[in-house]
Amino acid sequence: MTNEQISEYIDDLDKESDAIRTEALRMCWYMRGGITYDDAMQLSNSEKQLISKIIDENLETTKKTGLNFF
């Protein structure tokens, strides 16, 4: 790899790690402390996807019913 390719690869890894951290923090916020950041970071990708799906479903239910979410 050239230096430029290595630099691009590192930038891509940084973006990917930021996305992972952001998703973990978002889960912690939505779950109101039901999961810690450390626990969220140790979840498998499949588990994170399932939790995100449940959060999305709950948000949609909240919108449909007009109940307060925040």
Q: What is the pLDDT of residue 6?
A: 97
Under the banding of pLDDT at 50, 70 and 90, the label for residue 70 is low
pLDDT digits (tens, 9 = 90+) for 10-63: 999 999 999 999 999 999 998 888 999 999 999 999 999 999 999 999 889 988
Q: What is the pLDDT of residue 14?
A: 97
Q: What is the pLDDT of residue 66?
A: 85
DSSP code string of 29-61: HHTTTSS-HHHHHHS-HHHHHHHHHHHHHHHHH
